[in-house]
Amino acid sequence: MSAAATVVDLVTGEVVEPLDQAAARELTERIRRTADRLWELLSEAHERQAWRVLGYRTWKAYIENEFSMTERRSYQLLDQALVIRELETVAGLNRGSVPITERQAREIKPRLVEVTERIRERVAEEPPPAPAEPLEAGDRPSPAPASPAVAPERVREIVDEVVAEELERRRKRREDREATKAVRMGAPPGSRGRLRRSGAATPAGAAPTAMDRHDWEV
């Protein structure tokens, strides 16, 4: 069994104790949780104007100086927060119940109204919960819910189903557009590359030449 490598702090030059497997896994999970919830922290900072309190004149200056993050990237994460909260609100779920990635949020946002409406309709179509069992003599009734809500687990399933359907719909639309463009530009059959051309396109239906093929990025 080989000896553990010596770990040196790059700032102080001191030798530090390497992590064992359990500590490394715990640290990795903490990093993952923070990364997955970054949208939530940024959203709070934006909504509550953290940058003004810290003396920044703009959100852009705050983001760039405090986190070395571009303004564009920050707004992508703020859009993720918007999408997640809209889905949670329409579904009546607690915050943090809908695990949507930033990329998925970017796909959904243009049709967020339609997606939330489909979720609302499907939740409304769910049958009400089964009636409670009759009480035995001496039992005290539990407080009745304010309204016959669908079980949160089922609501989360509906949200996941609608989101997956929307992402699949957008994927197919992209593939259809790429296929149509490829046909118009005379792309080799089955090519999914990007076209890099400076000259005229190959006529539709014509077999691409060797030079034509060379222009494709595959």
The lowest-confidence range among 10-14, 148-152, 156-160, 201-205 is 201-205
- Confidence tier at 192 by pLDDT (50, 70, 90): low
Tens digit of each residue's pLDDT (9 = 90 or more) over 133-145: 565 656 555 444 3
Tens digit of each residue's pLDDT (9 = 90 or more) over 101-127: 888 888 888 888 888 888 888 888 877
H helical segments located in the chain: 21-36, 38-47, 50-53, 59-67, 71-91, 102-108, 112-125, 152-185, 210-214
DSSP state of 171: H
Give the per-residue pLDDT at 61: 94
